[in-house]
Amino acid sequence: MPTRESWTAHARRVLPAMRAWRTAIHQEPELSGEETKTREKIVAALNELGIPYRTFHDFPGVIGLVGEDRAGPVVALRADMDALPLTEATGAAFKSRFPGRMHACGHDVHMACVLGAAAVLSRQPRLAGGPVKLLFQPAEEEGNRGGALPLIERGCLEKPHVDYVVGQHVLPGLPLGQIGWRTGAFMAAADHFRIAVLGRGGHAATPHQGPDAVLIASEIVTGLQALVSRVRNPLDPVVVTVGSIHGGTRNNILPDEVVLEGTVRTLRPATRDLIESTLKRRVASIAASLGARVRIQYHRGYPALINPPDATRRAVAGLTEEFGRNRVLEMEHPIMGAEDFARYLERVPGTFWRLGVGVEERPESLHSATFLPDERSLVLGAAALLAATEGLQRARP
């Protein structure tokens, strides 16, 4: 193979453009499903680069295509577009112009990296081993239907058919410059539930007169933990969290109703089914044993993200050639967060990895008002996308 410049060197050359795209996007963050100004910025960048794209009148996603006439497998690079309802406290010169809206999950970096990779390939089409699709996807943070499904329904995996789909997400818990990958289950399915405990309101001094919704709700919160400790296999990770309890108005009145809301995280489809059915039965029986009725709403969100071994290893081979073995690390454990990138992997092979952006001076976490990956993550992320694409597009040995 003839020697060529590293992808990092190519990415460095487009850093000024990436910085400008990232800055503009970061300053005007938009919440899930409302990413129209973000779309305008992406469209402007694609126009600037001479890259053809599709947009939709009813949905803010964008699909671009670089190197349509290149022979070789089609790789799709996905970036999520939405921001979060937080007021930015990073103090950055390019901080959000809108109180209550902020790119606190790094999606601004993801978009700039995909644009950067596209810029490299559009300037030097011969570097690409096949066509590269660009998927700019809204509403990743939304958690229910998300944005991947609507983009898939609009044909993002066809014409041309996508052979591999690639995604990355910044991770401040991983040192800057490292890449964390994993085959098999990598991120969790996230379902949520709402349980209304229907008791009988009345004077707090006469609790014997009716089912006490507060007490029964407490029994349910405690009882649900047995799903984790006594229903699933201890070697198979499950999270059941009740995140909110609402009921009552003051100390001496029993409320008619208490509402619990929570989330269930699982990695295997069979475990997901098991926890859902057991949760419903358990909640109903706890309530019944104490004389109350319950209304249970259980909603399935994103499925588990499963990285297929073959595509992952091919992408990792490309990443390792670029960054070296000590920077491309197999992650020991899955992450119980969720990602609607899982929807693409249900349909085509591909892989998803975590991009280390952690620096000691700024030990923030994702979704915090002070989270701000520095611009070295742009070169790193664009180079990673290019290197993985090369790994996937290379002819099979």
> How near is the Cβ of 186 to Zn ion at its closest, in Å?
14
Q: Is 342 in the site for Zn ion (CB under 5 A)?
A: no
Which part of the chain contacts Zn ion (CB under 5 A), choosing from 53-61, 97-105, 187-195, 323-331? Answer: 97-105
| Residues of this chain, 98-117, that bind Zn ion according to CB under 5 A | 105
Residues 6 or more apart whose CB falls under 8 angstroms from that of 328 comprise 178, 179, 181, 316, 319, 320
Q: Which is nearer to Zn ion, 76 or 81 (CB)?
A: 81
What is the nearest approach in angstroms of Zn ion to the Cβ of residue 110? 8
Q: Give the shortest CB-180-to-Zn ion separation in angstroms.
A: 15
Residue 149 C-beta: closest distance to Zn ion, Å: 17
Residue written as token pair 């979704």: 367
Name the phi and psi angles at 354, rounded to 5: -105, 135
Total of chain residues touching Zn ion, rule CB under 5 A: 1
Angle at the Cα of 141 from the Cα atoms of 197 and 234, rounded to 5 degrees? 60
Q: Tell me whether residue 302 is one of the annotated catalytic residues.
A: yes
Q: Quick one: 105 or 238, whose CB is closer to Zn ion? A: 105
* Sheet of 257-266, strand order: 238-246, 257-266, 189-198, 293-300
Catalytic residue list contains 164: no
Phi, psi of 183 (to 5 degrees): -90, 160
Residue nearest to Zn ion (CB): 105
Q: How far is the CB of 61 from Zn ion (least distance, A)?
A: 16
Nearest to Zn ion of 105, 213 (CB atom): 105
Residue 269 or residue 363: which is nearer to Zn ion going by CB?
Answer: 363
- In the chain, where do the E strands start and end? 53-56, 59-66, 75-80, 132-137, 164-175, 179-181, 184-187, 189-198, 202-203, 238-246, 253-254, 257-266, 293-300, 305-307, 328-330, 350-358
**Catalytic positions:** 302, 375
Which chain residues interact with Zn ion by CB under 5 A? Answer: 105
